[in-house]
Structure 1
Amino acid sequence: MFVRSAIVQANGSSFIDDHYHQIINGGQRTTTFFTYLYANCSMGETEFINIKFNFSLHSRFSNILSCDDIAPYRGIRFQPILGNSIFWFIITKNEHADNASFHVGLPPGQKIGLNT
């Protein structure tokens, strides 16, 4: 099965609405790699809303996750770092949307990414 890759772009104050990657009739990829191709921002994270930040677990990844004062009240937020990739499962073993994969691209900043 061939599934197309997609380039996504956010500029300035725009954001990518919260979403799942779609279940496609006739076939579904099971995972996503999202790679930052361009990132000109200090914020503008990709937030996984349903995976709550846990300071004792996630703070060791402060070089790639946002670990600021609001982190305990949000989902985990991956910093937009050029060349970095995020990997996640998009469906469960029963082929339903995985709730942990619900995510949003936050403002501000310019960023371009590749979903494969």
Structure 2
Amino acid sequence: MTNLAALLDTWQQWNAHHVMAHVPAHEAGEPAVSALEALRDSRELVELLSGWQWQAVHAARRDGTSWEQIAATSGTTDEQARAEYVAVLDRQEAVLGRDVRAYREVL
């Protein structure tokens, strides 16, 4: 399993170095992380967080949150938020063979 802290650390090191490289009198000695390493780890972070997002949607719906509230929080429409959630469930079921009936109950 991927270490989330290590992914974030790579991104933060590169970002700090990139920002500081544009500031005069930058002190050397910080561990160098390349832009390519930062890109690789940021892509993996996005994949991980996207994968976890549907679980947060499920929990929010179980807590009584409306699709309109979820949409406002995620920057979509309520129809799009619901459709994206259904699409994830469909993939979980079709590709991974998971039983998602409990997750469909919040639709």
- Indicate whether the TM-score tops 0.5: no
TM-score, length of structure 2 as denominator length: 0.24
TM-score by length of 1: 0.23
Structure with the greater relative contact order (CA < 8 A, sep ≥ 6): 1 or 2?
1
Larger strand percent: 1
Please say which structure displays the higher CA radius of gyration: 2
Which structure has greater helix proportion?
2
